[in-house]
Amino acid sequence: MIGGVVGRSNGVAPGLLLNFKLNKAGLYSEVEYLLDVDSRANNFFYSWTDLTWSLNDRLWIGLSAQRTRLYETSHDVQRGLLIRGGLKKWQFTGYVYNLGFDDPFVILTLSVSF
């Protein structure tokens, strides 16, 4: 995949998406590298990886790790837990990162497939 970036950083972001499932286990990983056209100092590697286990057809639990500049913490890589529920084309996921550290935070996502 490839994307354009505009705002505080301007450039291009080539990336790779991996989505692998085997029985009840799943691995989702998205990586991108921002190539800033204004300054090489702003080039940045981003990653988001989820390892999940299916409890049934509608409920998953798992581990997650991310490296991003969107949320500034004292950790370079945020590690956390996730729980995901799905119904038909809809999925809701809750993430808790940095649990047990000084700067824990939560991310909630809602997605639809079409």
Q: What is the pLDDT of residue 73?
A: 60
**Each residue of 38-51: pLDDT tens digit?**
988 888 889 999 99
Taking the C-alpha atoms of residue 6 and residue 18, their distance in angstroms, rounded to an integer, is 25
Q: What is the pLDDT of residue 70?
A: 60
The domain spans of the chain are: 2-112
Query: Would you list the DSSP string of 32-43?
Result: EEEEESS-GGG-
How many contiguous H segments (helices) and E segments (strands) does the chain have? 0, 8
SS3 87: strand
Confidence of residue 8 (pLDDT cuts 50, 70, 90): confident
Q: What is the pLDDT of residue 26?
A: 96
**Each residue of 51-89: pLDDT tens digit?**
999 999 999 999 999 987 665 666 778 899 999 999 999
pTM of the model: 0.81
* Alpha-carbon radius of gyration of the chain: 16
CB 103 within 8 A of CB 74: yes
